């Protein structure tokens, strides 16, 4: 069943994937705007969260000038980067991956497997959660303010490093989510997915330099090389406002590509062992 | 359960009522203990972000070059962040308000009009059981954690501090319950309150001092935050056991907390009565 779907999907050009993505986006936006009050409430919630985050940040820097070498505006850039990246993940993938477990449980996954398009694409991008999209804009604005206040010239090399690292970071986070979602096929009920994702994102929240303490070095190593959660936000932010270190950049890109491959492999394994819910 | 109810209807009395709710407590306790593995895993997972907090605050103190910030040493902040977990263990009421709102929306709340059960007392007994089970099962992982991180704590020797801590935690449970209960009753007046509840929870997370000791916000902000009832859900019990408060301040805090409990109890009772009247007017 999956093989057939793949073959037909394989013959489609990249263009049709983009067209489909556009259609998903439009459809989700329409659905979202049908419940405008709820939509506004969700956006308000994000703004409140941001307020708390900024207050936390402000309070800390009222009492210190540096956190492991990050000064206030470098850290503000980091915060914006974290916020934007989390927004991207939530807008594009999070809801889809959480719903995947439900598709498995109800057997509705059948309909997805029959569609003449790559299953992973369909499962990953089906809903665009527009209510978290403002986070990307706000995160971008925070990064802008940080850069402005730092006042250092932004070179093309830094921008390139930032973009590449950001894409790799997204790939890492997406892969992790997809692997977690795939486990739903074997476990049917995966309520811990959100908790594990929360754990993963809590590792992204602060610069990786804070793990320099002797007792935490092991944690730093594990989450840099084995399960590279620490790279997701730190490396793009470092590339832009701190040191542009090509070694860690290369590793981040490599890890991102590798995790994409691994997550695709896990997803396909999972689909292959999927038995529908009817019998 | 139904076998014990007829005599209770005949002569409710105080003891009879108490026995009824104790039984609800027991049934709920058994139900809760059916998912032991689930909450062991949940508790362990909740610890891991603590590691990042410890690292962050260590970095903040190293960067500041000071030993104390607003009177807190680094060890105290870290101890505080662990202790608020204990506070929240007592005071958090996941799903209480949304459950009440759902019962109202779907009409199942009508059974409290028919059965000799009080909505608030029933939910209180139910919650108490769940909290009891939760606290007992998390005692082991938490004990382990506090032992592992023992270096961050200077446990007080004075027995009165321990007694006051326990009192503040138990009062925190009641205050958390009574506040959430009032929120849930909003369901009588508004059809859909889930996003609103989410918003309140987020704000409360901040106002209660779960993020960092309220004193660190400094100046007027800290002063305002310490006038609000939210602080009793996380901040107050933690500062009591940290030994930061004088006996007078602790006593005062406990009394104010009791007053807040009474306020929310009265608001809850009035809102429940008004709400049920409104509800029965619409129900068919």
Give the pLDDT band of residue A277 (cuts 50, 70, 90): low
How much is the pLDDT for B251? 95
Band of residue B32 on the pLDDT scale cut at 50, 70, 90: low
Window 49-78 of A, Cβ < 8 Å to B: 49, 52, 55-56, 59-60, 62-68
Q: Which band of pLDDT confidence, cut at 50, 70 and 90, is reported for residue A6?
A: very low
Residue A277 sits at φ, ψ, to 5 deg, of -95, -5
**For chain A, domain boundaries:** 2-272
pLDDT tier, B138 (very low <50, low <70, confident <90, very high otherwise): confident
How far, CA to CA in Å, does A19 sit from each of A22, A171, A252, B193? 5, 21, 30, 37
Q: Tell me if B216 and A211 make a contact (CB, 8 A cut-off).
A: no
How far is it, in rounded angstroms, from Cα B267 to Cα A105? 42
Q: Any bridge partners for residue B96, and if so which? A: none
Taking the CA of residue B219 and the nearest CA in chain A, the distance in Å comes to 11
- Are A55 and B202 contacting, i.e. CB atoms less than 8 angstroms apart? no
Q: How many Cα atoms sit within 13 Å of A18 on the Cβ side?
A: 3
pLDDT band at A203; cut points 50, 70, 90: confident
Average pLDDT, chain B: 85
In 3D space, the residue among B268, B101, B124, B270 whose CA is nearest the CA of residue B195 turns out to be B101
**pLDDT band with cut points at 50, 70 and 90 for residue A188:** low
A205/B69 Cβ within 8 A: no
Q: How far apart are CA A136 and CA A80, in angstroms?
A: 9
* pLDDT: which is higher, B281 or B112: B112
Helix residue spans in chain B (DSSP H): 5-10, 13-32, 36-64, 74-91, 96-106, 111-114, 119-148, 159-185, 194-207, 219-225, 235-241, 247-282
What's the confidence (pLDDT) of residue A259?
94
A191: closest CA of chain B, how far (Å): 10
pLDDT for B3 equals 41
Neighbours of B185 (CB within 10 A): 25
- Which residue among B52, B198, B212 sits closest to A206, beta carbon to beta carbon? B52
Q: Which residues contact B128 (CB under 8 A, 6 or more apart)?
A: B25, B173
The H or E element containing residue A203 is helix A192-204
Q: At what angle do helices A156-182 and A95-106 cross, to 10 degrees?
A: 20
State the pLDDT at residue A125.
86
pLDDT category of residue A217 using cuts at 50, 70 and 90: confident
CB contact under 8 A, A45 and B217: no
The pLDDT confidence band at residue B265, using thresholds 50, 70 and 90, is: very high
Residues B203-215 pLDDT 10s: 998 999 988 999 9
Give pLDDT, residue A275: 75
Q: Residues of chain B with pLDDT > 70: what percent?
A: 89
Give pLDDT tens digits for A29-56.
888 888 777 788 888 888 888 899 899 8
Identify the pLDDT of residue A2. Answer: 42
Does B87 have pLDDT greater than 90?
Answer: yes
Q: Strand B68-69 to strand A66-67: parallel, antiparallel, or no bridges (unpaired)? A: unpaired
Distance CA B248, CA B41 (A): 40
* DSSP reduced 3-state for A84: helix
């Amino acid at each position: 069943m999956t093989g057939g779907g793949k073959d037909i999907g394989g013959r489609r050009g990249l263009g049709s994937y983009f067209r489909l993505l556009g259609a998903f986006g439009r459809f989700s936006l329409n659905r979202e705007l049908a419940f405008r009050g709820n939509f506004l409430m969700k956006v308000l919630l994000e703004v409140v969260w941001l307020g708390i985050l900024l207050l936390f940040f402000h309070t800390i820097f009222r009492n210190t000038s540096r956190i492991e070498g990050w000064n206030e505006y470098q850290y503000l850039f980091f915060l914006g980067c974290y916020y934007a990246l989390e927004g991207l993940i939530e807008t594009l993938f999070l809801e889809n991956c959480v719903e995947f477990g439900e598709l498995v449980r109800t057997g509705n996954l059948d309909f997805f497997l029959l569609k003449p398009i790559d299953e992973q694409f369909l499962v990953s991008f089906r809903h665009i959660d527009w209510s978290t999209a403002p986070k990307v804009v706000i995160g971008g604005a925070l990064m802008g303010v940080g850069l402005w206040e730092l006042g250092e010239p932004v070179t093309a090399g830094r921008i390139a490093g930032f973009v590449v690292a950001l894409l790799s970071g997204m790939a890492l986070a997406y892969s992790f989510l997809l692997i977690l979602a795939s486990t739903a096929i074997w476990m049917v009920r995966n309520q811990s997915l959100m908790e594990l994702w929360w754990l993963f994102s809590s590792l992204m929240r602060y610069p990786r330099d804070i793990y320099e303490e002797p007792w935490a070095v092991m944690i730093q190593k594990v989450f840099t090389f084995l399960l590279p959660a620490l790279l997701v936000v730190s490396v793009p932010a470092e590339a832009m406002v701190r040191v542009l270190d090509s070694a860690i950049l290369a590793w981040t890109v490599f890890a991102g590509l590798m995790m994409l491959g691994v997550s695709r492999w896990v997803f396909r394994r999972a689909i292959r062992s999927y038995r529908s819910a009817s019998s | 359960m139904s076998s014990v109810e007829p005599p209770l209807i005949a002569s409710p009395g105080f003891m009879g009522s108490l026995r009824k709710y104790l039984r609800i407590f027991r049934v709920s306790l058994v139900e809760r203990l059916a998912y032991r593995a689930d909450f062991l895993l949940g508790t362990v997972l909740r610890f891991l972000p603590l590691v990042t907090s410890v690292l962050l605050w260590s970095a903040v103190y190293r960067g500041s070059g000071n030993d104390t910030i607003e009177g807190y040493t680094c060890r105290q902040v870290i101890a505080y962040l662990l202790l608020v977990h204990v506070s929240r263990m007592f005071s958090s009421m996941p799903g209480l308000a949304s459950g009440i709102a759902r019962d109202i929306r779907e009409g199942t709340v009508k059974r409290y009009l028919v059965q000799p059960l009080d909505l608030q007392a029933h939910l209180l007994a139910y919650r108490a059981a769940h909290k009891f089970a939760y606290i007992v099962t998390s005692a082991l992982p938490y004990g382990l954690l506090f032992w592992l991180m023992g270096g961050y704590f200077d446990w007080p020797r004075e027995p009165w501090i321990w007694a006051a801590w326990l009192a503040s935690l138990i009062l925190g449970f009641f205050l958390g319950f009574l506040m959430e209960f009032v929120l849930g009753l909003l369901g009588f007046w508004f059809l859909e309150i889930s996003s609103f509840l989410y918003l309140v929870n987020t704000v409360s997370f901040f106002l209660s001092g779960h993020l960092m000791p309220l004193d660190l916000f400094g100046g007027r902000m800290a002063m305002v935050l310490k006038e609000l009832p939210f602080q009793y859900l996380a901040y107050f019990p933690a500062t009591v056991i940290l030994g930061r408060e004088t006996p007078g301040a602790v006593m005062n805090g406990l009394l104010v907390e009791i007053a807040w409990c009474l306020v929310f109890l009265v608001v809850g009772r009035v809102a429940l009565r008004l709400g049920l009247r409104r509800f029965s007017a619409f129900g068919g």
